[in-house]
Structures are given as C-alpha cells and as structure tokens.
C-alpha cells in the first residue's frame, strides 16, 4: 500500500463524499421510477394518441438509461473515459443495427 | 447521362481499353459484350471506374518503381542512417484530396445508375413477368397473358420487360450478363423487381448467381429475344396450347397418356394448373432440356429415368416410368410445338 | 508453478506445459501451430476446388462434395487460419512492443485459444461424421437452415465456440493495450502494429456479437424448431444476411488491419526510417475501423434493399478507399529516401503494395453499386477478395513470420529459402487470381461446381489451376525453411534486424517474464531513440524488484473441452433426445470449471529479485 | 504489492475495486465487454423489431401483453438496481456486513423478477398457444426476453457465489473488483430491461 493514508480524518471525508453521491443516486432512482410510471401511464391510458406515444416512451427510456449509466454505473466519474468510449462505440453500432432492421428488412 | 457516357466510352475506345475488354468471353454470355440497356449502362460504368483506377495504379507504380530502384541499399551503405522524416503536410493533403475528387467523379454516375435501374414502377410497362426460382429451375408467368413457361424466357427486342422476382425455396439470383445485371430472388414477401431491355435478337445465357444447393452451377436458363411481331405470335401460340390436344403419332399418344398418369401432378402443360415442377408448355421448342442438355430424345429419356445424374439434388423422382415408357413420353414432349416461333427465330 | 514443470524435460511434461500455459509467448506458439495446420487444410481444399475447375464439365468431385469444399475452404481460411495466425502475432508481439510482462488476462488468453481450437476441431469433425457444411461460408438462410444432414450444425456450433474465443481474445488485447503500457508510452508513441491491434480488437468487440446472435438464431431454427428464417411462419431470411454482414464486413478489417501494422513495422525497419506520417497512419487506421461498420450492406447490393440504401452504402464504401490510399502513400514515402534492404520480410511487404493496390482498385469498382449488379457473386468478387486477403493478409503473415521469427523462436529464418518460397507463391498467386477478374466479367458466377464447354471459360480456369500449384509449392518451401532453420541456423541475437521498437531490446526469445525491469519509453520507436543516442538498450523505469507472474491453469482447456462435448450433444439431440445427456455433461464440466475458477483464489506468484539477479533465462 | 497485502489489506483504499492492476484490468475489461453486449442485445432487438408483426395467424403483441405484471416486474428490477448501488456504497465504506445484506436484497428481487417472467411465459404458452415455434414473432420474443432472463439468472448465480465464497473473510483487494463488476453487470441487465419493457411491451401494446 503506497498511496493510501491511515488518517481517520480522511476516511470521514470519504464517507461524507460517498454519502453525497448516494443522495444523487437515490434522486436518480426516484426519477427513473417516475419516468417508468409515466411511460406505462401514457400507454395504458392512451392519452396522447398512437403516433406521439412511441417517440415519447422511447425518449423516457433513453433518459432513464442515461441516469442508469451515468449515476448508477458511474460513467460520469473520472477514470471512465475508456469505458465511456467503448459504450458509445457499442451504442453507435447498436443504433446502425436497429436502424437497419427497422428500415431495410422489408421493402 | 447516356449521351455523356457514350462520348466517354468513345474516348476510351481510342485508348483501346474497351477494345481489349470487349475481346473477352463469348457472345450472349459475357458482361463485356453488352446487348441490352442495363448491361450497356453498367459496361460504361465499369469502363469509367477501370479508367480511374488504372490512373491511380499508374501513379502508385511510378512512385513505387522509382523508390525501389533509387533507394535500394547499395554496397558500402550498410551504416548509412537516412534522415528520419516525420511526414509532410502538403503531400499528405494532396493524397487525401485527389482520391476524394476521383471518388466523387465515380459516385455521381453510380447513384444515377442505381436509381435508373430501380425505376421499375413505370406506367410504360407493357409486359410484366413474374419470375419464380426453385431448386434448380425457373418459372416465368406472363402477368395478364395467362401464359406460363419455364427455362426459356421469351421477350421482344427493344421493349422494356418488367420482372417481379421471388423464390419458391431458397435464395437464388437471376442473372443475364449480356442484357442486364442480376438481382436475388428471395423467398417469402421480400419480392424484388428489375427490368430487361434487349437491343439485339438472340438466345442469351441466364444463370443463377446465388449458391442454392448442389446443382447451383447447372441452374441455367435462356432469354430468347425475338422481334416484337414474333413475340406477339409466340404469345398467341402459347395461349392456344392445349394439354388435351391429341398428338399425331400413336407413340406420342401413348406417351401423352403416360404423361397424364405419371407426370401431370407436377408438370403442367398450358397455364393451369400450376405444378410444383417446371411448366412444359410447347416443350418441343425449348433450346435445352432442363436448361443444360441438348434437346435430343436420348437426353430426354435419360433425364426422365435419372434426373439426379444430371442435376444432383433436384427433387424430381427417378425411375417413375420404365425406359420404354420414358421413350414414349419423350416422343410426346418433343412434338409439343404448336408455336412457330422457336429459339431459331432469334438467331 | 509453471517454472517447476518446465524444468522436467519429458514429452508429457512438455505437453502439460502447453496445455496449462498462460504465457502469451507460448499461447502464440499454440495459435501459430494450430492456425498453420488449419491453413494447410484450407489450402488442400483450395487445391481440390482448383482441380475440379481445371477443365469444362469436369467430374473430379461430386456437386455435393464441391459445395462442402468451398464452404470449408472459406470458413477454415477466415476463422481457423487467418484469425489465429494473426492472434499468434498479437500474442507474440504486442506485450513486448508495449513493454509489458504479460497480457491483462493471462487466464482468459489461454481460454480464448482453447475455445478457438475446440471450435475448429468440431467444425472439421464434420468431415468424418456424415459430411461437412455445404451452404457456403456465408451460410445464407434458408439454404443453410434447410440443408439436410448435420453439416451446417457443425458450422453453427464450431463457429459459435471459436467465436467466443475470439471475442475473449479481443477484449484481452484491448485491456492489455489500455492498461499495461510501459511508463512513457502514450497512445501516440505506440508502435503502429500495436495501434492496429487496438483498432482490430475494438472491431472484434463490436462485430462478433452480431455473429453470435446470427448463429444463435440459426442454431435455434435448425435444432430447436424456431422459425426465424422460415417464411411460412412469418420468418425473414434477410435478417441472417444483415447479421452475417454486420459481423462479416468488420471481420475483413479485423483481418487486414493487423497486417497493415506489420507492413508499417517492416517498411520502417528495413528502410532504416521512421514511419512516414505516423499520426496520419493512426488516424487512417481508426477511420478505417470506424467506416468498417457502415459499409456491410455492400455485400448485399443485389439483395434488393432499394436504390436509397444501395446508394448510401456505395458512397460509404468508396470513402474507405481514402484512408487506405493514405496508407499506401505513407508506406511508399517511408521507403523514399531510406536505405532499403531486401530481406524476405521486406520482399513480402514490397510485393504487397501492387497486389493490394489492385485489390483496393477492384474494391472501389465493386463499390459502384450498379456495376456490382454485374460483378456480384462472380469470379470478379472471388478475385477481388483473394487479392486483398491473400495479397494482403497472407503476404502480411509471411512478412511478419520472417520478421518476428527470431523473437518467437530464437532463430532467423533462412534468407535464401525465404526468397525461394516467395517467388513461386507470388507468381502463382497472380496466375491464379488475376485471370479470375476476367472469368467473372465473362459470365462465370462464383461457387460453380462446373462450367460448360463453349462458354469460353476453359483457358482462364486452366491458368488459374496451374497458378494454384505454384502457390502450393511456395508454401511447401516455406515449411521446409521452418524445419531447416530449426535444425541448421544459429541462435539469433536480441536485435538481428536493427529494430526500432521495444521487442528488440530483449533477448530472442525473451525470458518468460519478458522485461527484467520495465523500460522507460521516451518517444515513438523507443529502442531506436536509445540506439541513436549511442546507448545499448533501454533505460529502466524501475529498480530491479520482485516480478509478479500469473499461475498456469488447466481450467481453460477443461472449460473448452466441456463446450466441445456439449456441442456434439446439441448437434445430435435433433436425432435422439438421449444426446441431450451430452449437453448436460458438457455444460456441467464448463460450469464446474467456471465455479472452481470463481471460488479458488488465484493470485499468481512472484519471481524474487535474487533469482532475477542470477541471470537471464535460467529460471 | 504482495499477495498478503491483497488478501489482508491493512487499510482499504478509496476505490478498492481499482487498487490493484488486476482490479483495474477487470474493471476496464468488463466495461468493454458490456460495450459488446450492447451490440448483442441490439441485434436481438433488431430481429424482434423486424419480426414483431409476423404472427403467422397466431396472437399478436396487442392481444398477448398485459401491462400489470410487466409493471410489477419492472419495479422489482429497477429497485434491485438501487439496492445493488447501496451494496457498492457500503463496499466503498468498507462495511462488509451491510454490503452482504443489500446484495441479499438484490438477489431476492432478482428472483422475484425471474419468477414473474416464468409465470408470464407459462401464461402465453398455455392460454394463447404462443410458443417459441408457433410464429416468427414467438421465436424472436422468447429469444430476446429469454436472453435477458438468462442474463438475470447468470447474474444471480454469480452474486450468490461471490457472497457465499467471501462470507467468512470479508472484503479485500482481491474480491472487491469481483463484487464491483458483478454490480456493473446487474445494472446493465437493468438497462436492457428498460428497453425491453419499452420496445417489446409498451410499443407492442400500442401496436
């Protein structure tokens, strides 16, 4: 162990920091729940018509996933540059794939 | 576009590139001997792209040859350390920008040609044909004419013929190199369309270009291009074909009976009913047996007795009839030629 | 501990050592030998194909067997020969080039190899178990889903297993390159070979999952009655084409990019010059990797995607020519002003340039979507991809083997034999494939069991077949060279070619811990910088200390063997559910081994400083 | 760092999952793997989207799907994601006991989710005769959702194995990365589910 300290003071500081982060995570969880309920509600009540429903629920899913990736999985934190790059890469290929399968499979 | 490309081609005729290429292959088969609208359009594109590419190749090879001769390590240079250059901005920009320009020159006519060849919903269409491929033969149904045939596709010279393509089993690909490019025939709802427009009369080779089983290489067909008048006559003759018509000779009559008892469940004569095997209307006029064999009696008998010998993996059962019966059936089939228009007319 | 085992000299111990090794240099040997054997098998299949096509209407082999030959030739060469041979190079070189003692996941590295190996073995078992797959290496549905017998089942299972191995290998090298570079080696100081491996591994990561899914769908259709590709139940056969090519196109860049790296190293070394336009080369590599994912549908121009899709994919495909062109010119200008020494490695590299330029040119021609309606699925395409895959990948592998043979085996391959192997192969290659461009344009579709008299195709095919024999001769001479070198050639020095990168700063072959002290990298061509300042070797970045090494393990072999057993179960349970027992046994072995791996601590061991001081290579 | 330091660290560092080179490798490697998994699931989603109307005369998505059960399953899985966040929170605070408890809750929620999924499949098969083999829609639905379910099952086995194996010895620098990537995996499962409930169920219900 070369880099770490023995000071309990430091540990207290870290704990507070973790707690702060945890608070953000609980908030993002609440948001995710709200988005989920909204998505289900939009579909269940058929409140806004078929053509708007699909883009809206897709958007809600997207925002939720961003919360999940950035807060729960810490993609926003330092030291996640390479993971973020590879996830974006995966998302780019995923996007092309899904675009293909919704457009040029049937003609 | 056509005119522009034509001039371009003329230019290169002088450069003899086109001449060299058009010396390749046999008539009616080679993509380098185009005889139809599509094939000519694509031939022009090929020449354009080859010309650009040869230009690039010459540049690369000039530098290459110079470098290898000039900078080869010579005796006494073993300890020579060359200057360690990192790069050269100007050069690098040049060999990025020039290829981009060359590719744009190529991309524009490419996109034009793609859209040109995809224009199959035109109202001008007077002839529409449904093409159905199967292991290992082709069915041609002339929409609106109540005509069905197989293996020999008759089309009139100079007219656009629109094809709707589908497959009865696996994916095949319809290719008549001298007249047009190819397109796949897919099973299910994934129908494709294309058109043929032939400029010269003749009997053209058609091939399957997508691996479809053991006899993929034997899934040939013919496109018979005749004059519009002859085409009209052919259509009339095809419509008049009567499966019940009594043949003249007794042998053929017996053959007809055997055929009706053993073969009719798969092979139709006339437009209806549609069988699972090739339609044999006016079989006597066919240029080939099963697309590959010369139309002689021996070959027909041989085919009936043992089709798998000639086209491995095909689904026609062998030895349905004995050799004597097969001979009679062959006799019957060969006299099925009410049409006066035969492949001979195209030649 | 692997060191203890290595000291026992017996043959059994030797085998055991290789079965359990996690040393990337030994795994490189394993990849090289098995990839080489599969290459010979694929070559034999190629010869049979060419003999069948020697004359019109030939009946040398039957139509069904011919389809098995072409399928196995393609599948073997791509998945079981080219890929593992490249993995051999990655394993042998990348850790050394970045100054690392090992890869990031030595255990997974071994697992990746054994998965590939058993996958390849399953695939080739099909020859003895009722017939090989016969639907082409592209295995288009529904031909593949309705193909009778078990041939295609072997294809599905074999590729699934070896594909998993490849994916694992790809992730391993990504992490190795990201995390394990020596101090001072920033991304823009990495040797170009390492850069290409980095991009290649990224492509593996994103391309192979599509194949995995495609193979699963096909497996479910063939073995468990699903109806993805059964149009009668609403299935759609185009799904397979897309999935296959979403994988398949990046796959060809997975093959070609590493050899671009090889050529970059070879040109620089044997011209005694720094690689011209290094940053442009890196940029071009990344761009090719990126564009590689946007062009797959150019394999499907005749599928009927419609003019809009065809145009888009035509233009993106043409765009790839730009970064590739940049590379060609940069190589030429690397040699420009240099001091070119024509060694065997350099010969293969120099021969690559015109060959690959032709392959690239025909590539652009094929990108002309409309003209592709004529080229598609003809011998023109066959000629094109052999120009890039043989003229690029195989030439590159030969160049790399001549270049890195001393690093892998401690001896420089005999130069004279190297040149003797080159010429027949090179001449034979052009004889075989140049004429095929014309055969295609003259109307010969690919995968044709026979062509007929009177089609004007006889002469061209005969020339092509003669060329194939020349290529075979070249390969035989190369093999002879390998044996000759092992027996007759003296031991190589650490740096026989006046190299520029880190692998040449350590002994040939390196000790199992690679670097006694991690080197300090001060720029691109790290060793060259030191040498040009008159130093003998690298400056260490750390004092001599204990070295941490991973433990060997038999578990990767066991896991892969479990999947091998389960594979047969999957294939044969269609005939009789009793075979499902093999699935359970095999999967049990796999999960059991995974469980053991998971609960048993494996922290590796340390080589002590005192032992290191006793001297190199004696451990 | 000696093996002893890794197994019995005197002091837990700030990010125990990334304190050793092996830990860093695992962390990066696993993220990269998730990048690949993204493409894997995209291919499955694509296949489903291409075949979502291919009912072959059988029941379609609108007829099949009910929202209540899916909503409950969604809530279970979302909550399990939060509980695994709590587990990692306690790992960072070096509180092994609490971490185990929260992981236990995560496993319980995951099991409940799996139970719901099995009930749902059973329901479709018996009430609607909608199976893996009945139509292309069936094949693609069961494959996509089943792949996700398989991931859940594997995740559960993985987390339970880790919990049991390390129950007696507590956290160290050797097992911290393992716990961390297991929780990453669990979150990823949740990400995939967000798209499944949106694309498969909600869009299926809209038609």
pLDDT tens digits along C403-431? 999 999 999 999 999 999 999 999 999 99
Write down the domain spans for chain B: 2-117, 127-225, 250-346
| Confidence grade of residue C353 (pLDDT, cut at 50, 70, 90) | very high
Determine the distance in angstroms separating the CA of C445 from the nearest CA of chain A, rounded to an integer. 26
Nearest CA in chain A to C290: A89
Rounded to the nearest 10 degrees, how much is the dihedral formed by the CA atoms of B40, B43, B47, B49?
Answer: 120
- D126 burial type by CB count under 10 A (0-12 exposed, 13-18 middle, 19+ buried): exposed
CATH entry 3.40.50.720 includes domain D26-41+70-206: no
Determine the distance in angstroms separating the CA of C427 from the nearest CA of chain B, rounded to an integer. 18
Tokens of C9: 């000299």
* Tens-digit pLDDT profile for residues A24-71: 889 989 999 999 999 999 998 887 877 888 899 999 999 999 988 888
Nearest CA in chain D to A99: D46
Q: Which residues of C258-278 are buried (b: 16+ CB within 10 A; e: fewer)?
A: bbbbbbbbbbbbbbbbbbbbb
pLDDT of C617 strictly over 50: no
* Tens-digit pLDDT profile for residues D120-169: 999 999 999 999 999 999 999 999 999 999 999 999 999 999 999 999 98
Residues of chain B found within 8 Å of residue C311, distances taken between Cβ atoms: 110-111, 114-115
Fold entry, domain B2-117: Helix Hairpins (1.10.287)
Q: Which residues 68-87 of chain D have a CB within 8 Å of chain A?
A: 71, 74-75, 78, 81-82, 85-86
C308: CB partners within 8 A, 6+ apart: none
CB contact under 8 A, D35 and A105: no
* Tens-digit pLDDT profile for residues C529-562: 999 999 888 999 999 999 999 999 999 999 999 9
| C297/C320 Cα distance (integer angstroms) | 14
| Confidence grade of residue B146 (pLDDT, cut at 50, 70, 90) | confident
Give chains near D: 3+ CB pairs under 8 A. Answer: A, C
Whether B152 contacts B129, CB under 8 Å: no
CB contact under 8 A, B92 and C277: yes
pTM here is: 0.94
Omega of the bond leading into C509 within 30 degrees of 0 (cis): yes
Is C312 in CB contact (< 8 Å) with chain A?
A: no
- The larger pLDDT score, comparing residue C599 to residue B123, is at C599
Determine the distance in angstroms separating the CA of A31 from the nearest CA of chain D, rounded to an integer. 11
Whether C117 contacts C156, CB under 8 Å: no
* Tens-digit pLDDT profile for residues C61-116: 999 999 999 999 999 999 999 999 999 999 999 999 999 999 999 999 999 999 99
How far from C332 is each of B69, B78, C343, CA to CA, in Å?
Answer: 12, 21, 17
Tell me what ipTM this predicted complex has: 0.93
Architecture label for domain B127-225: Sandwich (2.60)
Per the CATH hierarchy, to which homologous superfamily does domain B250-346 belong? Cupredoxins -  blue copper proteins (2.60.40.420)
Average per-residue pLDDT in chain C? 94
- When mean pLDDT is compared across B173-182, B327-336, C382-391, the lowest value belongs to B327-336
pLDDT of C567 strictly over 80: yes
Same CATH fold assignment for domains B127-225 and B250-346: yes
CB contact under 8 A, C447 and B85: no
Write down the domain spans for chain A: 8-76, 77-107
Tell whether the torsion through CA atoms of A55, A59, A60 and A65 is positive or negative. Answer: positive
* Tens-digit pLDDT profile for residues A81-104: 999 999 999 999 999 999 999 987
pLDDT of C527 strictly over 60: yes
CB contact under 8 A, D85 and A72: yes
If we measure between CA atoms, which residue out of D189, D77, D199, D38 comes closest to residue A58?
D199
If we measure between CA atoms, which residue out of D138, D36, D190, D186 comes closest to residue C213?
D36
| Confidence grade of residue B282 (pLDDT, cut at 50, 70, 90) | confident
CB contact under 8 A, C306 and B60: no
Whether C595 contacts C557, CB under 8 Å: no
Q: Which of A80, A90, A93, A95 to mutate to test the interface with D (most CBs of D within 10 A)?
A: A90
Q: Which of C209, C225, C237, C596 to mutate to test the interface with D (most CBs of D within 10 A)?
A: C209
| Confidence grade of residue B6 (pLDDT, cut at 50, 70, 90) | low
**Which residues does residue D167 pair with via DSSP β-bridges, in sequence order?**
none
pLDDT at B11: 56
| Helix axes C192-223 and C278-291, enclosed angle (nearest 10) | 10
| C15/D170 Cα distance (integer angstroms) | 39
pLDDT at B1: 43
> Taking CA D50 as the corner, what is the angle to CA D45 and CA D53, rounded to the nearest 5 degrees?
115
Whether C411 contacts C491, CB under 8 Å: yes
Write down the domain spans for chain C: 20-180, 188-271+273-338, 341-446+457-495
């Amino acid at each position: 162990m070369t880099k770490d300290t023995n000071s309990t003071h430091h540990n207290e500081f870290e704990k507070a920091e973790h707690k702060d982060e945890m608070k953000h995570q609980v908030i993002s969880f609440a948001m995710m729940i709200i988005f989920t309920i909204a998505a289900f509600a939009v579909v269940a009540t058929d409140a806004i018509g078929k053509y708007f429903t699909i883009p809206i629920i897709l958007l809600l899913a997207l925002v939720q996933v961003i919360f999940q990736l950035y807060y729960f999985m810490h993609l926003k934190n330092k030291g996640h540059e390479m993971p973020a790059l590879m996830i974006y890469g995966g998302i780019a290929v995923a996007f092309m794939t899904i675009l293909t399968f919704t457009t040029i499979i049937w003609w | 576009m056509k005119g522009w490309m034509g001039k371009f081609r003329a230019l290169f005729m002088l450069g003899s590139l086109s001449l060299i290429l058009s010396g390749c292959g046999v008539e009616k088969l080679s993509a380098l001997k185009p005889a139809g609208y599509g094939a000519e359009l694509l031939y022009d594109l090929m020449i354009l792209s080859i010309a650009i590419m040869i230009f690039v190749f010459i540049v690369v090879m000039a530098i290459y040859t110079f470098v290898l001769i000039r900078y080869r390590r010579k005796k006494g240079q073993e300890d020579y350390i060359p200057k360690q250059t990192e790069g050269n901005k100007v050069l690098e920009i040049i060999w990025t920008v020039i290829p981009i320009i060359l590719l744009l020159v190529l991309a524009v006519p490419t996109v034009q040609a793609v859209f040109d060849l995809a224009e199959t919903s035109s109202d001008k269409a007077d002839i529409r044909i449904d093409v159905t491929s199967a292991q290992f033969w082709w069915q041609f149904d002339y929409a609106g004419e109540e005509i069905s045939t197989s293996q020999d596709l008759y089309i009139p010279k100079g007219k656009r013929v629109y094809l709707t393509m589908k497959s009865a089993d696996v994916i095949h690909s319809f290719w008549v190199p001298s007249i047009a490019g190819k397109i796949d025939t897919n099973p299910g709802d994934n129908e494709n369309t294309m058109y043929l427009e032939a400029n010269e009369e003749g009997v053209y080779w058609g091939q399957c270009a997508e691996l479809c089983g053991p006899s993929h290489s034997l899934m040939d067909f013919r496109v018979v291009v005749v004059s519009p008048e002859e085409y009209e006559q052919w259509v009339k003759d095809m419509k008049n074909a009567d499966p019940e018509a009594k043949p003249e000779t007794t042998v053929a009559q017996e053959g007809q009976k055997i055929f009706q008892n053993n073969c009719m469940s798969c092979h139709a004569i006339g437009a209806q009913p549609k069988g699972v095997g090739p339609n044999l209307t006016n079989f006597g006029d066919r240029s080939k047996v099963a697309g590959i064999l010369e139309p002689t009696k021996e070959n027909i008998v041989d085919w009936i007795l043992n089709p798998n010998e000639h086209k491995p993996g095909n689904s026609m059962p062998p030895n349905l009839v004995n050799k004597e019966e097969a001979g009679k059936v062959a006799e019957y089939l060969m006299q099925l030629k009410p049409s006066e228009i035969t492949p001979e007319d195209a030649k | 501990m692997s060191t203890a085992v290595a000291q026992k000299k017996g043959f059994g111990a030797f085998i055991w050592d290789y079965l359990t090794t996690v040393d990337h240099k030994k795994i490189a040997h394993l990849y090289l030998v098995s990839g080489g054997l599969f290459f010979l098998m694929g070559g034999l299949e190629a010869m049979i194909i060419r003999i069948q096509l020697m004359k019109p209407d030939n009946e040398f082999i039957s139509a069904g067997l011919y389809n098995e030959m072409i399928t196995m030739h393609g599948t073997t060469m791509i998945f079981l020969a080219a890929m593992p041979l490249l993995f051999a190079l990655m394993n042998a070189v990348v850790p050394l080039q970045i100054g690392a003692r090992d890869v990031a996941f030595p255990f997974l590295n071994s697992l990746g190899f054994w998965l590939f190996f058993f996958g390849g073995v399953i695939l080739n078992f099909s020859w003895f178990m009722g017939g090989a797959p016969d639907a082409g290496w592209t295995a288009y549905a529904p031909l593949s889903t309705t193909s009778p017998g078990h041939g295609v089942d072997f294809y599905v299972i074999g590729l699934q297993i070896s594909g998993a191995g490849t994916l694992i290998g790809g992730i391993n090298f990504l992490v190795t390159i990201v995390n394990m570079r020596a101090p001072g080696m920033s991304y823009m100081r990495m040797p170009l070979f390492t850069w290409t491996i980095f991009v290649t591994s990224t492509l593996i990561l994103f391309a192979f999952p599509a194949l995995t899914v495609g193979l699963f769908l096909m497996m479910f259709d063939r073995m468990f009655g699903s109806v993805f590709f059964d149009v009668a139940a609403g299935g759609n056969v185009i799904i397979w084409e897309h999935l296959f090519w979403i994988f398949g196109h990046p796959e060809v860049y997975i093959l070609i990019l590493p050899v671009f790296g090889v050529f970059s190293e070879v040109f620089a070394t044997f011209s005694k010059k720094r690689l011209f336009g290094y940053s442009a080369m890196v940029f071009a590599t990344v761009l090719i990797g990126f564009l590689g994912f946007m062009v797959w549908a150019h394999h499907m121009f005749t599928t009927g995607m419609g003019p809009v899709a065809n145009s888009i994919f035509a233009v993106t495909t043409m765009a790839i020519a730009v970064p590739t062109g940049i590379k060609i010119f940069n190589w030429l200008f690397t040699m420009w002003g240099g001091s070119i020494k024509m060694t065997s490695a350099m010969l293969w590299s120099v021969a690559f340039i015109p060959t690959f330029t032709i392959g690239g040119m025909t590539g652009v021609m094929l990108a002309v979507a409309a003209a592709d309606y004529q080229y598609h699925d003809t011998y023109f395409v066959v000629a094109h991809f052999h120009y890039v895959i043989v003229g690029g990948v195989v030439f590159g592998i030969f160049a790399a083997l001549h270049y890195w043979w001393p690093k892998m085996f401690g001896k420089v391959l005999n130069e004279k034999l190297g040149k003797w192997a080159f010429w027949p192969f090179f001449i034979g290659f052009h004889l075989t494939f140049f004429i095929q461009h014309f055969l295609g344009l003259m109307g010969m579709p690919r995968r044709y069991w026979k062509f007929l008299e009177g089609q004007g195709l006889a002469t061209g095919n005969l020339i092509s077949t003669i060329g194939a024999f020349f290529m075979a001769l070249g390969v035989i001479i190369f093999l002879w060279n390998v044996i000759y070198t092992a027996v007759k050639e003296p031991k190589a020095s650490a740096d026989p070619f006046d190299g520029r990168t880190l692998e040449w700063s350590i002994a040939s072959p390196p000790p199992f811990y690679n670097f006694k002290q991690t080197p300090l990298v001060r720029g691109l061509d790290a060793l060259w910088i030191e040498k040009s300042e008159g130093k003998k070797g690298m400056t260490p970045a750390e004092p001599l200390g204990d070295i941490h090494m991973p433990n060997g393990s038999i578990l990767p072999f066991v896991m892969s063997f479990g999947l091998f057993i389960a594979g047969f179960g999957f294939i044969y349970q269609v005939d009789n559910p009793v075979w499902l027992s093999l699935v359970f046994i095999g999967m049990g072995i796999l999960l059991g081994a995974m469980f053991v791996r998971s609960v048993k601590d494996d922290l590796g061991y340390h080589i002590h400083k005192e032992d290191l001081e006793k001297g190199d290579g004696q451990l | 760092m000696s093996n002893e330091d890794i197994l019995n660290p005197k002091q837990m560092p700030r990010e125990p999952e990334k304190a050793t080179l092996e830990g860093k490798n695992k962390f990066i490697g696993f993220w990269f793997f998730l990048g690949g998994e993204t493409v894997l699931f995209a291919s499955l989603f694509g296949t489903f989207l291409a075949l979502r109307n291919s009912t072959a005369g059988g029941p379609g998505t609108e007829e099949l799907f009910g929202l209540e059960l899916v909503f409950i399953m969604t809530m279970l899985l979302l909550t399990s994601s939060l509980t695994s966040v709590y587990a990692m929170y306690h790992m960072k605070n070096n509180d092994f006991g609490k971490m185990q408890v929260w992981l236990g809750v995560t496993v319980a929620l995951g099991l409940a989710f799996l139970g719901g999924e099995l009930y749902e499949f059973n329901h479709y098969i018996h009430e609607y005769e909608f199976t893996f083999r009945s139509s292309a829609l069936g094949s693609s639905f069961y494959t996509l959702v089943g792949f996700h379910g398989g991931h859940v099952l594997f995740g559960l086995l993985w987390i339970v194995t880790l919990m049991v194996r390390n129950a007696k010895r507590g956290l160290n620098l050797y097992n911290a990365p393992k716990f961390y990537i297991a929780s990453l995996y669990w979150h990823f499962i949740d990400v995939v589910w967000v798209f499944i409930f949106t694309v498969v169920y909600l869009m299926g219900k809209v038609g």
